[in-house]
Amino acid sequence: MTCDTPHHEHHHQPIEHAKIGKPVKDFTMDVFDPEEGGFGEVSLQSLKDQKKWVILFFYPADFTFVCPTELADLAEKHAQLKAMNCEVLSVSTDTKFVHLAWKNDEQLLKNVKYKMAADPTGKVSRYFGVYDCDTGVADRGTFIINPEGLLVGSEISYHNVGRNADELVRKMEASIYLQDHPNEACPAKWTAGQKTLTPSEKLVGKVGQELA
């Protein structure tokens, strides 16, 4: 058995990982809900039943240094993401109790209203390929799951580089647009209202002319 294998599985059973464009298997995590001021539980199935988009925002640990700046940045965009029918979940391998203590102690987290999910066994982190076996914490990973439960966005960064929630909002806008326009594609730096591409044989070698 390796550290990438849950304790209840035998060594000959390879661990399953989430794959882009494929259905995400159900998961359940305990959460600290800052809006309610208490603990709860969240499952992917319940969010699918509500036809929600889901953003999983993995980070290494509470009471660290880059992490509160990222969660504060995400909090600034939470209202926009919520208006897009997104359920935002920050996730680390800390417990829900540590989440509560950190939220109360760290000034940068004062505006955090999204649920803070706990993955103390690392099971969900392993599934999404962000579990660091050497430290027992999660790498910085951002994952977007559409209302049908397909993984449509995946980004993993090293622990010393913080993310930018502006780009997450842009990717969400593009993902939602393409959900309604599946035959189109969004070019680099696309923002709402800009021209998209419709792949076909006529477009081969002529993308520049199409976007001009």
The full set of domain ranges for the chain reads 28-163
Pairing of the two strands 86-92 and 53-58: parallel
Q: Which two tokens stand for residue 126?
A: 């392993």
pLDDT computed for residue 15 by the predictor = 77
**Residue 7 confidence (pLDDT):** 47
CA-closest candidate to residue 159, choices 56, 77, 65:
65
From the options 3.40.30.10, 2.60.40.1180, 3.30.1360.10, 3.40.980.10, give the CATH code of 28-163: 3.40.30.10
Q: Which of 67, 86, 133, 186 is catalytic?
A: 67
Closest by CA to 15, choosing from 6, 27, 24, 28, is 6
What are the structure tokens assigned to 6, written together?
């849950």
Residues 18 and 143 sit within 8 Å (Cβ to Cβ): yes
From the first residue on, what is the mean pLDDT of each consecutive set of 10 residues in the chain (212 residues)? 49 79 98 97 98 98 98 98 98 98 98 98 98 96 98 95 98 97 97 95 94 91
Whole-number pLDDT of residue 3: 65
Look up 133 and say whether it is catalytic: no
pLDDT at 5: 52
Beta strands in 59-188 (DSSP E): 86-92, 115-118, 131-132, 137-138, 140-145, 151-157
pLDDT of residue 1: 34
Residues 6+ apart with CB under 8 A from 140: 58, 59, 60, 70, 130, 156, 157, 158, 159, 161, 162, 163
